[in-house]
Structure 1
Amino acid sequence: MQLTLDDTKNAKSDKPVFSRTNPFQAKVLKNINLNGTGSSKETRHVELSLKDSGLSYKPGDALGVIPSNDPELVAALISEMGWDEEAVVTVGKQGETMLLKEALTNYCEITLLTKKILQGAAAFTENEELQKLVLVENAAQLKEYCNGRDLLDMLREFGPWKATAQDIVSLLRKMTARLYSIASSITANPDEVHLTIGAVRYTAHGRDRKGVCSVLCAERVQEGDTLPVFVQANKHFFLPETLDKDIIMVGPGTGIAPFRSFIQELAVNKATGRSWLFFGDQHAASDFLYQGELEQYQRDGVLTKLDTAFSRDSDQKVYVQHKMLEHSKDLFEWIEKGAYFYVCGDKEHMAKDVNEALLTVIEKEGAMDRDAAEAYLKDMQQQGRYQRDVY
């Protein structure tokens, strides 16, 4: 293949290509809490600038954010071990050197424990409990120990340590990017990318825990700051090629994110297909994310149907799958006419319950037995008409 003059110019372009290994520093344009007073949740709507990044994305794609660790947790680790935060340590395969505080803040994963870390740490202590825990026959207990604990727990529980800061840093993995479904359409918001991030906070093993990236966004990232980001394409979650197809979207909680991107795309392209959104959360008054926008889209006819389930507003807990069953006749009619069905959100419970409800709808309205309903759903999946983005 011969290169034209233009191609050569592009190939030699001085513009950096931003990626997972070379993230773009995106400026924070907006960072607001979407939940109202009295909510037990905190969901951040974060708008980032992609100006001059050359980055683009499609509805359904994800944004990778490379976070930094909580300074309080870093300080607690350094204090626990009596380390010098300005000691120089070596990290990574390339043998990069940096100050200990910098390594623990921006380079190392310190909130996750693995079998490998505990096995490696056992060489630096005579603590009998740890020596026992890493034995092959105690694999189940070891796995159980790692669940919900972090590096600080391990260092507190299994000392005294005869390890240098370098010894411990060498056991740790490199910080991994956190992926979030993109909540905007680039066509509707040129040079911008929006995220919907639920702040993760919980107590386990006697200590308060915080999600590394979600609480960074909730507590420490201000408008004007930057976040290192890259775009992660999602080849298994996308709008139909032509926007005359009907779509059904099920996205409770932060699962709404990609569907905000879908709906913006439908609006800007004046799509002719119908769209139906099922959204759910705890309370209508405080947890109806993007309520004003969604209701406006419904008034404008961009969103054909909007059904909500607020689980804590009635004696019986009502979830999105209950709303699907309530509308089973219409739902099956849309599917029979070729509608695409999308689910985004919690993999553990919600996605399973929605799958179960979908099978029930197909069984009941299609007058099929369970095997036939499962075959019908499998066929939808093979046609790309049943897509899931679950985590």
Structure 2
Amino acid sequence: AVTRRASGTALTLLHGSNLGTCAGIARDLGTEGEEHGFAPSVAPLDTYTEKLAHAEGPVVIVAASYNGRPTDDAAEFVASLENLAPGSLTGLRYAVLGVGDRNWAATYQRIPTLIDERLTAAGAVPLLERGSADASGDFGGVVDQWTEDLWKVLLDEYGVAIAGEAAGPAPEAEGEGLYELEDTSESVLGGLAERHGVRPMEVLEAYELVDTDHELGRSKRFLRLRLPEGVTYRTADHLAVLPRNPEALVQRVADRFGLDLNRTVRLRARRRSRGALPVDRPLTLRRLLTDFVELQDAATQEQVAVLAEHTSCPPEKQPLTAVATADPETFREQVTAAGLSVLDLLERYRACELPFERFLELLPVLRPRHYSISSSAAARPWEADLMVSLLAAPHRSGEGTFRGIASHFLQTVNAGDVIQARVLPCSESFRLPEDTAVPVILVSAGTGLAPFRGAVLDRHHTGSTGTLLCYFGCDHPDVDFLHREEFEAAEAAGAVSMRPTFMHAPENGARFVQERIARESEEVWAVLEAGGRVYVCGDGRRMAPAVREAFMAIYRERTGASDEQAVAWLAALVGSGRYVEDVWAG
């Protein structure tokens, strides 16, 4: 067989990554590049600030946005793109893969798009069309297809035709013994742990933070983990936790496919795929479905098309085909927004004859979930605390209850157990200023309080004082005022001024954080006028927009500005790093 292979051609792989996804893809491309005969180098984008013209060989960029701004390892690089003169990158061949989440429509793919446009304007020539991988869509499929297209183009341009040769046995080395010991992973989870970079962490404490016997009590669990030797964190960093699927969800798969969960199998991939499960060792089907695959992700349009292909019964094939071929907005409404998984659809359309092996192929690899570390790195650098809300709500499809995979997994964890996790740095802009003379406003609700607990404990531990207003929303002071005694002790020491709001026990009419901010507008405005900073953490669907509006209302009230001027003012605060959000869509 004749194939193509590069002969040592340099290949520069650059990433802009806060949570590790883009860096991981770049490293994977580096490994694949070596297999194709390239000489790859992998680095953060900032290491090529104003040096792109000197990059060796073609350049591949994998980048994401953070609230519409560059990631921490790409900020200088992106800023420098404005200085590129037309023609300054003539001769450079490049490709861009953008990573984002379409739920954040206003800033989706903003930075990858900007990079692509600036490089083209400077004379660089794209190898192929920019890729757009959507974390809320068929992420793995898009990355796989774009990667396949990338190697085809690169090998067409830089490869040479070679004849395939059968690999013979390696000649026996003289003087070597029969056996050689190699270190390998202890468990079948080794490949998955390696892929995600997680390590075992012992659970030191696990208990409920909320009075769940109260009618308003919604579970929020506290976990304290011992960090492995050599692992450190900084206050406000994240912990990525690799969860396990609950038994009831795994049993649904067994029931649909008629599986014996105790059957021992060995799963081998017949061909290379980025989405392939990292398993090539004997394990039970129960272990495979519990520890390796995502069972609850909303189905993609491509997956529904596969279900339709495997359905011959007309009354069931027709609706599946209609959904698979619907326009994107209709599909989003009927499947994505409803949270219907492949398993949900298989249970709804019983006539579908999808084989179990094909079902596995459709499923993404189980991924870690990110939680803000709630402890103080100054006070307890060897331990990391978490506060985890139990996610349980009526399913958006109207059928049954939706339960969060990770939050339910962490509900089952007890002291003495071991979980797989890794520390991930938060955005540098989300760290409180080291100068405690800079006034600060913290705004959160529920477990969004987590990183702010760490910040308050930092100040309490070091004896720091200064203006630190902590607005915190919860249900009731007797139910879920999280870590109340700690915060009251810190307040008594002058480290913080707590500003709680209680939805079911309002004080002076304030049920939500934005209402208390509005009520205390004079003090809030004084902080802003003094160059203060605002940090918001928690729900991005309702709370964060309401808090933004509260700050803009204060600006309009104090300055007489128009709505448009208030929007521009807040945008300027965000742009300067004085108003920072770490929020999630929920």
Does the pair score TM above 0.5?
yes
Partner of 1:160: 351
Choose which of 426, 446, 456 in structure 2 pairs with 1:234. Answer: 426
Q: How does 1:214-363 map to 2 (within 5 A)?
A: 214-218=407-411, 220-235=412-427, 236-303=429-496, 305-314=497-506, 318-363=511-556
Against the structure 1 CA distance between its residues 19 and 162, is the aligned structure 2 distance closer, same or farther, given a 3 Å change threshold? closer
Larger Rg: 2
Structure 2 residue 372 is matched with structure 1 residue 181: yes
- By how many angstroms is 1:137 displaced? 4.3
Instruction: Determine the C-alpha separation between the residues in 2 that align with 1:120 and 1:273.
Output: 60
Structure 2 residue 221 is matched with structure 1 residue 28: no
How well do the aligned residues superpose, as a CA RMSD in angstroms? 2.3
Instruction: Determine the C-alpha separation between the residues in 2 that align with 1:251 and 1:311.
Output: 13
Against the structure 1 CA distance between its residues 95 and 251, is the aligned structure 2 distance closer, same or farther, given a 3 Å change threshold? closer
Q: Gapped runs of 5+ residues in structure 1?
A: 1-13
Structure 2 residue 304 is matched with structure 1 residue 118: yes
Q: Gapped runs of 5+ residues in structure 2?
A: 1-182, 186-192, 270-274
Structure 2 residue 580 is matched with structure 1 residue 387: yes
- By how many angstroms is 1:31 displaced? 1.2
SS in 1 for 2:267: strand
TM-score (norm 2): 0.60
Structure scoring higher RCO (CA < 8 A, sep ≥ 6) equals: 1
Structure 1 residues 171-180 or 131-140, which shifts more? Answer: 131-140
Structure 1 residues 81-90 or 310-319, which shifts more? Answer: 310-319
Instruction: Determine the C-alpha separation between the residues in 1 that align with 2:333 and 2:564.
Output: 37
What is the CA deviation profile of residues 48-99 of structure 1, one whole-angstrom value per residue up to 9, with x for unaligned ones? Answer: 11041x2222222211111110012101211221023224434653763354
What is the CA deviation profile of residues 83-136 of structure 1, one whole-angstrom value per residue up to 9, with x for unaligned ones? Answer: 232244346537633543222111110011222322222222223222222124
Instruction: Determine the C-alpha separation between the residues in 2 that align with 1:228 and 1:27.
Output: 9
SS in 2 for 1:268: helix
- By how many angstroms is 1:141 displaced? 4.0
Contact 2:208/2:221, CA 8 A, preserved across alignment:
yes
- By how many angstroms is 1:162 displaced? 2.6
Contact 2:537/2:582, CA 8 A, preserved across alignment:
yes
What is the CA deviation profile of residues 328-364 of structure 1, one whole-angstrom value per residue up to 9, with x for unaligned ones? Answer: 0011001111111111010001000000000111221
Instruction: Determine the C-alpha separation between the residues in 2 that align with 1:130 and 1:140.
Output: 13
Partner of 1:70: 246
How many pairs are equivalent? Answer: 373
Instruction: Determine the C-alpha separation between the residues in 2 that align with 1:172 and 1:124.
Output: 16
Choose which of 256, 267, 279 in structure 2 pairs with 1:96. Answer: 279
Structure 2 residue 259 is matched with structure 1 residue 83: yes
Contact 2:232/2:381, CA 8 A, preserved across alignment:
no
Structure 1 residues 236-245 or 293-302, which shifts more? Answer: 236-245
TM-score (norm 1): 0.89
Instruction: Determine the C-alpha separation between the residues in 2 that align with 1:341 and 1:137.
Output: 41
Q: What percentage of aligned pairs have identical amino acids?
A: 26
What is the CA deviation profile of residues 276-322 of structure 1, one whole-angstrom value per residue up to 9, with x for unaligned ones? Answer: 1011111111021111111111111111x211111112596710000
Instruction: Determine the C-alpha separation between the residues in 2 that align with 1:252 and 1:366.
Output: 29
Structure 2 residue 227 is matched with structure 1 residue 50: yes
Instruction: Determine the C-alpha separation between the residues in 2 that align with 1:373 and 1:320.
Output: 20
SS in 2 for 1:65: strand
Structure 1 residues 324-333 or 186-195, which shifts more? Answer: 186-195
Contact 1:45/1:197, CA 8 A, preserved across alignment:
yes
Against the structure 1 CA distance between its residues 274 and 72, is the aligned structure 2 distance closer, same or farther, given a 3 Å change threshold? same
Contact 2:210/2:218, CA 8 A, preserved across alignment:
yes
Structure 2 residue 320 is matched with structure 1 residue 130: yes
